[in-house]
C-alpha cells in the first residue's frame, strides 16, 4: 500500500442484525481520521460482503456483529477471501465479541477482534498499526 | 492499569456544565431558579393535570414489574424459562404475573424457520414462531387469564393474532385478555433499525391493531411507542422523549382518520422509555414528557376524559450503558437507573441484566436483575411517597428545561409535516447520528467517563469469569423445519388457501386485517405466508436503516 493512497474500509453488517449504532460512528470517525469508509448496508451475507470488498478494492473489511454469530460469519468470510484470491484484504470483527473468542478468531486469520463499546480511538490506532506494518513490508 | 485515554481527564472539582442531553446546569439551585413556575399550572398534584408529578393520585408503593425480555431456542425452552422466572415473581407493571416475550430473528423478519437463507438465525434472540402451534408451545401450562401478556416483535399484529387465537381455542373471552404489545414499527427507522414496510404501511398496521383492541379487548394496550430503541440507538433524553411523542401524534392522527374516538383509543396507548445514567436528567425527562403529552391530548386532540391525558410510561433500564469490563458493576448501574425511573414516576420497570455486553442473559443474571427490583421494592422505602423529589429547586428547574427542549423538537417536526415526514427527510436520523459522533469524541477524550471502559480499566479481560449463554441455531433450524413439514402436511390446506386469498384481498384494498389474521392463525397459516402477502401488498422497505446522508453530518 503506498502511503499517499487512503486506507479503504468496508463497514459491514450481515444477516438480520441491525445494530448499526457503532458503525454509524465509525463511518464518520474513520473518515475524520483520513480514511475512506464504505457502508455495506444491512442484511448482507458473507458472499455479498466479499464481493463488495473486492469490487470496492478495500484494504479492510470491518464486520460489526452483535447477535452472536461472529464465529460462523468470520469463518465464511475468510474462506471466501481465500477462494476469490483476495487474501490481501484483511478482516477485523467488532460489536459483541467476547474476548474468549479472540484466540480462535486469530487462528482463522482475522486481524483484529474487539469487545463491545471499543473506543473509536482504539480502532483508529489499530488501523494505523496495521497499515504501517503493511508499508514496512 | 491499562493506559489512560488520550486527552486530559476532567478535574474532579470542575462541575460539568451540561446534562448529558445538553441542558445547561450550575452548581447550586435556589427558589430564584423556579420563580416563574406556578404550582397548579406547571406542576400540579400527583394524579392531576398536567400530571408532571405522576398519573396516580397517591403513592402506589413501587408498582413496577420485573420482566426481563426473554426467549431463545425452541419454543419449549422459552416456556421453561418463563415458568422458572414466574417462580421468582416476574410481574407486569400492575403487579400481575407476567412475561415479556421476544421472537427469533427469522420470524421477526417474516420468514419461516425452514428458509435456508435464515437458517443461521433460527432461535436466535427469541423462540421461532412459525405458526400458532409454536405460540401454544411457548405458553403451554401458562394461564391467559390473570397473567399479563407482554411481547416484543417487529410483526406485532401477527403475534397478537396468535395470542387471540389461543384464547379463542381455550374458550377465554377476548374481553378478559390483559396485556400489551409494542406495535410501533414506525420507530424502526430511528431505533430498532428494522424496516419491514414503508412508514405508511407501518402506520396502517398499527392503526389496524388499535382498531381491533378498541373494539374487542378493553384491557389490551396496543401501541407502545418504542422510545427505548431510539434512545439505545443514541438519542439524548430530550430527543428520546420528543421523537416518541411525535411518533404517537402520528399514530393518534391515523386512528382519528379511521374514525376511532380519542377517549376510547387513549387507554390502549403507552410509552416505552429507557432510563439512562444521568440521574436527575432522567427524572426530569419522565416528569416533563408526561406534562407535554397531557397538554397535547387535551389541547390538540381534545380528549375529554381525564384518564386520556395520562401518559403511561414503561421503562427498561439502559443496556448500552453497561460495558463488558467489571460486569458486576452493572448490577449497581442498573439499580441506580431503576431508582431514577421510580423517582420519575415510571408506571412499569424492567431492570437490565449485568451480562448485557456478553450474550442473552444467563439464568443467574436474569434472576439477579429480577431480585434487584425486589430489593428496591421491599427494603428501601422509596415507594412510600408519590413524587418525592417534587419541589426540589433543581429537579423542577430541570423538568422545566426538559419540557422546553421537547417542545422545541416537536415544533420543528410539526413544521416539517410530522413524524413520518421528518423520518423521510432523514432529519431524525441525522439528529441521532450527530449525538452519537459527539459522544464518541467525548469518550475518547475522557470528557465522558464510563468506569472500566475509558477509565479504571481492569488489568485483564474478565470475561472468563462470566458464564456466556450459548446456543446452536442449526439444531433449532432442523427441529423446526421438521415441525413445519408436519404442519403443512396435516393442516386443512383448502382452508389455508381460502384465508390467504381473503387476506390478500383485504391487504390490497385497505381493508381490516386483524380479524382475518386471527382466523388465519387458528387455521395454522405460517408467518412467511402472512408476511409474504404483506410485503407484496404494503410494499417492502429495504432502505437500510441509515439513509446515505446520515453519514455526511458531523
Ligand atoms: C443498543 C442495543 C440495541 C438497540 C440497537 C440500536 C441500533 N439501531 O443500533 C436496540 C434496542 C434497537 C436493540 C435491539 C435488539 N437487540 Co440489542 N443491544 C444493544 C446494546 C445494548 C448496545 C449496542 C451498541 O449500540 N453499543 C454502542 C455502540 C457505540 O458500541 P458498539 O456497537 O460496540 O460499537 C463500537 C465499537 O465496538 C466499534 N465497533 C463496532 N463494530 C465494529 C467492528 C470492527 C471491525 C471494529 C474494529 C470496531 C467495531 O465501533 C463503535 C465505536 O464506538 C447491545 C449490548 C452491548 N453492550 O453491546 C445489545 C445486544 C447486541 N442486543 C441484543 C439483542 C438480543 C437485541 C434484540 C434481538 C432484542 C430483541 N429481542 O428485540 C434486538 C435485535 C435487533 C436486530 N434486528 O438486530 C443482544 C445480542 C445477544 C447475543 N449476542 O447473543 C445484546 C448483546 C444484548 C444482550 N446481552 O442480550 N439492541
Minimum CA distance residue for ligand 1 atom 46: A94
Q: Model confidence over B239-286: pLDDT tens digits?
A: 999 999 999 999 999 999 999 999 999 999 999 999 999 999 999 999
Strand order in the sheet with B149-151: B69-70, B100-101, B149-151, B179-181, B220-221
* Spatial separation of the C-alpha atoms in residues B245 and B285, rounded to whole Å: 12
Please tell me which residue, B507 or A133, carries the higher pLDDT value.
B507
Distance (Å) from the alpha carbon of B475 to chain A's nearest alpha carbon: 14
* Spatial separation of the C-alpha atoms in residues B318 and B357, rounded to whole Å: 12
Exposed, middle or buried, B528 (CB in 10 Å: 0-12/13-18/19+)? buried
Residues 6+ apart with CB under 8 A from B86: B97, B99, B142
SS3 B24: strand
Dist. CA B499 → ligand 1 center (Å) = 38
Q: Is the pLDDT of residue B481 over 60?
A: yes
The closest of B130, B125, B132 to B107, measured between CA atoms, is: B130
Please tell me which residue, B127 or B14, carries the higher pLDDT value.
B127
The CATH topology of domain A8-130 is Rossmann fold (3.40.50)
Q: Is the pLDDT of residue B127 over 70?
A: yes
Mutate to test the pocket of ligand 1, among A11, A19, A23, A97 (most ligand atoms within 8 A of CB): A19
Count the neighbouring beta carbons within 10 Å of the beta carbon of residue B299: 9
Task: Tell me, yes or no, if B193 comes closer than 8 A to chain A by beta carbon.
Answer: yes
Dist. CA A19 → ligand 1 center (Å) = 5
Is B123 domain-assigned? yes
pLDDT at B59 (0 to 100): 74
Q: Model confidence over B415-466: pLDDT tens digits?
A: 999 999 999 888 999 999 999 999 999 999 999 999 999 999 988 766 556 6
Q: Element (H or E) spanning B159, and its range?
A: helix B156-169
Q: Is the pLDDT of residue A50 over 60?
A: yes
Question: What integer best gives the mean pLDDT of chain B?
Answer: 89
Q: Does the CA dihedral B368-B373-B377-B379 come out positive or negative?
A: positive
Ligand 1 first shell, C-beta below 6 A? A 16-22, 25-26, 62-64, 66-68, 92-96, 112, 114, 116-118, 120, 123; B 69, 102, 125-126, 152, 191-194, 229, 232-233, 319-320, 356-357, 359-360, 440
pLDDT at A87 (0 to 100): 96
Distance (Å) from the alpha carbon of A83 to chain B's nearest alpha carbon: 21
Cβ contacts (< 8 Å) between A17 and chain B: which residues? 105
Q: Model confidence over B348-391: pLDDT tens digits?
A: 888 999 998 887 778 788 889 988 988 998 899 888 899 999 99
**Nearest ligand 1 atom, CA B108:** 77
- If you average pLDDT over residues A66-81, what whole number do you get? 94
Is B336 domain-assigned? yes
- The answer to whether the Cβ–Cβ distance between A28 and B454 falls below 8 Å is no
The closest of B224, B113, B111, B96 to B160, measured between CA atoms, is: B224
Beta bridge partners of B451: B455
* Spatial separation of the C-alpha atoms in residues B302 and B316, rounded to whole Å: 31
**Axis crossing angle, helix A21-32 with helix B427-445, rounded to the nearest 10:** 70
- If you average pLDDT over residues B213-228, what whole number do you get? 94
* Spatial separation of the C-alpha atoms in residues B537 and B322, rounded to whole Å: 41
Is B554 domain-assigned? yes
Domain range annotation of chain A:
8-130
pLDDT at B11 (0 to 100): 47
* Spatial separation of the C-alpha atoms in residues B323 and B326, rounded to whole Å: 8
Joined together, the cell numbers standing for residue A108 give: 482463522
Q: What are phi and psi of A95, to 5 degrees?
A: 110, -125
Q: What are phi and psi of A106, to 5 degrees?
A: -65, -45
Is B83 domain-assigned? yes
Inter-residue contact B223 to B250 (CB < 8 Å): no
- The answer to whether the Cβ–Cβ distance between B193 and A28 falls below 8 Å is no
Inter-residue contact B211 to B202 (CB < 8 Å): no
Helical H runs in B266-392? Answer: 279-295, 329-343, 363-379
Joined together, the cell numbers standing for residue B440 give: 464518541
Confidence of residue B1 (pLDDT cuts 50, 70, 90): very low
Domain enclosing residue B113, as ranges: 66-356+466-554
* Spatial separation of the C-alpha atoms in residues B54 and B59, rounded to whole Å: 10
Task: Tell me, yes or no, if A42 comes closer than 8 A to chain B by beta carbon.
Answer: yes
Is B228 domain-assigned? yes
Task: Tell me, yes or no, if B467 comes closer than 8 A to chain A by beta carbon.
Answer: no
Is B249 domain-assigned? yes
Q: Is the pLDDT of residue B511 over 90?
A: yes
Dist. CA B192 → ligand 1 center (Å) = 10
Dist. CA B197 → ligand 1 center (Å) = 22
Cβ contacts (< 8 Å) between B71 and chain A: which residues? none
Q: Model confidence over B257-270: pLDDT tens digits?
A: 999 999 999 999 99
Beta bridge partners of B314: B272, B348
Task: Tell me, yes or no, if A119 comes closer than 8 A to chain B by beta carbon.
Answer: yes
Task: Tell me, yes or no, if A104 comes closer than 8 A to chain B by beta carbon.
Answer: no
pLDDT at B408 (0 to 100): 98
* Spatial separation of the C-alpha atoms in residues B239 and B323, rounded to whole Å: 23
Q: What residue has cell string 433499525?
A: B193
**Nearest ligand 1 atom, CA B154:** 72
Residues in chain B: 554
What domain count does chain B have? Answer: 1
Cβ contacts (< 8 Å) between B325 and chain A: which residues? 115
Confidence of residue B475 (pLDDT cuts 50, 70, 90): confident
Q: Is the pLDDT of residue B548 over 50?
A: no
- Please tell me which residue of chain A has the smallest CA distance to B123: A67
pLDDT at B24 (0 to 100): 94
SS3 B532: helix
Residues of chain B above pLDDT 90, percent: 65
Helical H runs in B465-513? Answer: 473-490, 493-508
Task: Tell me, yes or no, if A19 comes closer than 8 A to chain B by beta carbon.
Answer: yes
Minimum CA distance residue for ligand 1 atom 20: B320
Joined together, the cell numbers standing for residue B403 give: 419540557
* Spatial separation of the C-alpha atoms in residues B2 and B459, rounded to whole Å: 7
The closest of B179, B178, B196 to B188, measured between CA atoms, is: B196
Tell me, what CATH number does B210's domain have?
3.20.20.240
Is B431 domain-assigned? no
Inter-residue contact B199 to B187 (CB < 8 Å): no
Beta bridge partners of A94: A64
- If you average pLDDT over residues B171-199, what whole number do you get? 89
- The answer to whether the Cβ–Cβ distance between A24 and B551 falls below 8 Å is yes
Is B334 domain-assigned? yes
Amino acid at each position: 500500500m503506498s502511503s499517499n493512497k487512503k486506507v479503504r474500509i468496508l463497514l459491514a453488517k450481515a444477516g438480520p442484525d441491525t445494530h448499526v449504532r457503532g458503525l454509524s460512528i465509525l463511518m464518520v470517525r474513520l473518515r475524520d481520521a483520513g480514511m475512506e469508509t464504505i457502508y455495506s448496508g444491512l442484511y448482507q451475507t458473507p458472499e455479498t460482503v466479499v464481493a463488495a470488498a473486492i469490487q470496492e478494492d478495500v484494504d479492510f473489511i470491518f464486520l460489526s456483529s452483535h447477535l452472536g454469530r461472529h464465529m460462523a460469519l468470520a469463518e465464511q468470510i475468510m474462506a471466501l477471501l481465500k477462494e476469490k484470491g483476495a487474501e490481501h484484504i484483511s478482516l477485523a470483527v467488532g460489536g459483541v465479541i467476547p474476548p474468549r473468542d479472540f484466540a480462535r478468531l486469530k487462528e482463522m486469520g482475522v486481524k483484529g477482534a474487539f469487545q463491545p463499546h471499543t473506543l473509536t480511538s482504539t480502532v483508529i490506532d489499530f488501523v494505523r498499526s496495521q497499515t504501517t506494518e503493511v508499508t514496512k513490508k | 492499569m491499562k493506559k489512560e485515554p488520550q486527552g486530559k481527564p476532567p478535574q474532579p472539582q470542575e462541575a460539568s456544565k451540561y446534562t448529558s442531553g445538553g441542558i445547561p446546569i450550575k452548581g447550586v439551585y435556589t427558589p430564584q431558579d423556579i420563580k416563574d413556575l406556578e404550582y397548579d399550572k406547571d406542576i400540579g398534584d400527583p394524579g392531576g393535570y398536567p400530571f408532571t408529578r405522576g398519573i396516580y393520585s397517591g403513592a402506589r408503593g413501587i408498582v413496577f414489574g420485573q420482566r426481563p425480555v426473554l426467549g431463545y431456542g425452541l419454543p419449549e425452552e422459552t416456556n421453561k424459562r418463563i415458568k422458572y422466572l414466574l417462580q421468582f415473581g416476574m410481574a407486569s407493571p400492575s403487579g400481575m404475573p407476567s412475561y415479556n416475550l421476544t421472537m427469533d430473528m427469522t420470524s421477526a423478519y417474516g420468514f419461516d424457520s425452514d428458509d435456508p437463507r435464515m437458517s443461521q438465525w433460527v432461535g436466535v434472540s427469541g423462540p421461532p414462531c412459525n405458526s400458532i402451534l409454536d405460540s401454544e408451545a411457548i405458553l403451554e401450562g401458562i394461564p391467559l387469564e390473570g397473567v399479563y401478556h407482554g411481547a416484543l416483535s417487529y410483526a406485532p399484529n401477527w403475534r397478537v393474532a396468535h395470542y387471540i387465537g389461543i384464547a379463542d381455542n381455550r374458550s377465554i373471552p377476548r374481553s378478559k385478555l390483559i396485556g400489551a404489545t409494542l406495535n410501533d414499527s414506525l420507530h424502526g427507522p430511528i431505533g430498532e433499525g428494522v424496516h419491514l414496510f414503508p412508514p405508511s404501511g407501518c402506520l396502517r398496521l398499527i392503526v389496524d391493531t388499535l382498531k381491533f383492541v378498541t373494539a374487542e379487548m378493553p384491557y389490551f394496550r396496543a401501541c407502545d411507542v418504542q422510545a427505548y430503541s431510539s434512545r439505545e440507538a443514541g438519542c439524548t433524553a430530550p430527543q428520546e422523549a420528543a421523537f416518541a411523542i411525535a411518533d404517537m401524534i402520528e399514530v393518534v392522527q391515523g386512528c382519528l382518520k379511521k374514525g376511532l374516538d380519542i377517549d376510547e383509543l387513549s387507554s390502549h396507548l403507552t410509552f416505552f422509555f429507557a432510563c439512562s445514567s444521568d440521574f436527575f436528567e432522567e427524572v426530569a425527562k419522565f416528569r416533563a414528557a408526561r406534562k407535554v403529552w397531557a397538554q397535547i391530548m387535551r389541547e390538540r386532540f381534545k380528549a375529554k376524559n381525564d384518564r386520556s391525558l395520562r401518559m403511561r410510561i414503561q421503562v427498561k433500564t439502559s443496556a448500552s450503558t453497561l460495558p463488558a469490563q467489571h460486569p458486576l458493576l452493572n448490577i449497581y448501574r442498573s439499580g441506580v437507573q431503576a431508582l431514577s425511573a421510580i423517582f420519575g414516576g415510571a408506571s412499569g420497570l424492567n431492570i437490565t441484566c449485568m451480562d448485557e455486553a456478553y450474550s442473552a442473559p444467563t439464568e443467574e443474571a436474569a434472576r439477579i436483575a429480577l431480585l434487584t427490583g425486589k430489593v428496591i421494592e421491599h427494603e428501601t422505602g422509596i415507594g412510600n411517597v408519590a413524587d418525592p423529589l417534587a419541589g426540589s429547586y433543581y429537579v423542577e428547574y430541570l423538568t422545566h428545561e426538559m419540557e422546553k427542549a421537547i417542545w422545541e423538537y416537536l415544533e420543528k417536526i410539526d413544521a416539517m409535516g410530522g413524524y413520518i415526514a421528518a423520518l423521510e427527510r432523514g432529519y431524525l436520523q441525522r439528529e441521532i447520528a450527530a449525538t452519537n459522533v459527539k459522544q464518541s469524541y467525548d469518550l475518547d477524550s475522557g470528557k465522558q467517563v464510563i468506569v472500566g471502559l475509558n477509565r479504571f480499566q481492569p488489568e485483564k479481560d474478565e470475561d472468563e469469569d462470566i458464564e456466556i449463554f450459548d446456543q446452536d441455531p442449526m439444531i433449532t433450524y432442523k427441529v423446526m423445519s421438521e415441525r413445519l413439514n408436519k404442519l403443512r402436511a396435516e393442516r386443512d390446506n383448502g382452508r389455508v388457501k381460502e384465508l390467504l386469498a381473503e387476506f390478500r384481498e383485504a391487504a390490497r384494498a385497505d381493508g381490516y386485517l386483524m380479524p382475518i389474521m386471527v382466523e388465519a392463525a387458528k387455521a395454522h397459516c405460517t408467518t412467511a405466508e402472512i408476511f409474504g402477502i404483506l410485503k407484496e401488498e404494503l410494499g417492502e422497505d429495504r432502505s437500510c436503516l441509515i439513509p446515505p446522508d446520515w453519514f455526511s453530518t458531523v
